[in-house]
């Protein structure tokens, strides 16, 4: 059994409210073991005999669509991958210390060069980006309310689905499950 962490998009935002008990039951109905939720924003920890994360993502997305009536983009990482994401330093420590926020965009696949260029075109004097693997690191130097960047803006610019998590959430997941 491998430990996985599913990052679900559109859970408890934008009018889509889902109780964590219901999510846990949906995952258990799919045959997953040791299912837990982590804060009410669509982070599900589970164990599965299936190692193919793409197949797991599709299985979960199909269940969510059937159960909730809307699409829920699903991004799976292993516990080891989440630990690596949490440890990764995308910017110099001085910039991280001075920033108001560091968010991590979770993607299904790595960005190609054209998508990386589109992302970098979104940079401003308060927003910077770094791409590593299947993650986008978004450094916001001031309050996020002062930024024009959001998950929707990133998705629209890149033409792909993603979900954002604050670095502290990812670090806590890594500490608890990594």
- Residue 171's pLDDT is 97
SS (H, E, C) the chain: CEEEEEEECCCCECCECCCHHHHHHHHHHCCCEEEEECCCCCEEEEEECCCCHHHHHHHHHHHHHHHHCCCCCEEEEEHHHHHHHHHCCCCCHHHHHHCCEEEEEEECCCCCHHHHHHHHCCCCCCEEEEEECCEEEEEECCCHHHCCCCHHHHHHHHCCCEEEEEHHHHHHHHHHHC
pLDDT per residue as tens digits for the range 29-67? 999 999 999 987 889 999 999 889 999 999 999 999 999
- Residue 16's pLDDT is 73
- Residue 12's pLDDT is 76
pLDDT per residue as tens digits for the range 116-158? 999 999 999 999 999 999 999 999 999 999 999 999 999 999 9
CA distance 140 to 165: 13
Given a cut of 80, whether residue 13 has pLDDT beyond it is: no
């Amino acid at each position: 059994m491998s430990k996985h962490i599913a990052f679900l998009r559109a859970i408890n935002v934008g009018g889509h409210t889902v109780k964590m008990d219901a999510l846990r039951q949906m995952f258990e109905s799919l045959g997953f073991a040791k299912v837990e939720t982590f804060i009410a924003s669509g982070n599900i920890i589970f164990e599965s005999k299936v190692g193919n994360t793409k197949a797991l993502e599709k299985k979960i997305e199909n269940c969510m669509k059937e159960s909730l009536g809307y699409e829920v983009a699903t991004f799976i990482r292993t516990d080891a991958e989440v630990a690596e994401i949490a440890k990764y330093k995308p910017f110099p420590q001085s910039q991280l210390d001075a920033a108001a926020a560091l968010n991590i965009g979770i993607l299904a696949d790595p960005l190609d060069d054209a998508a990386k260029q589109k992302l970098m075109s979104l940079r401003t004097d308060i927003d910077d980006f770094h791409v590593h693997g299947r993650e986008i690191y978004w450094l916001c130097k001031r309050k996020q309310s002062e930024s024009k960047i959001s998950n929707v803006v990133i998705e629209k610019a890149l033409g792909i689905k993603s979900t954002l998590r604050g670095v502290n959430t990812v670090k806590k997941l890594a500490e608890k499950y990594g």
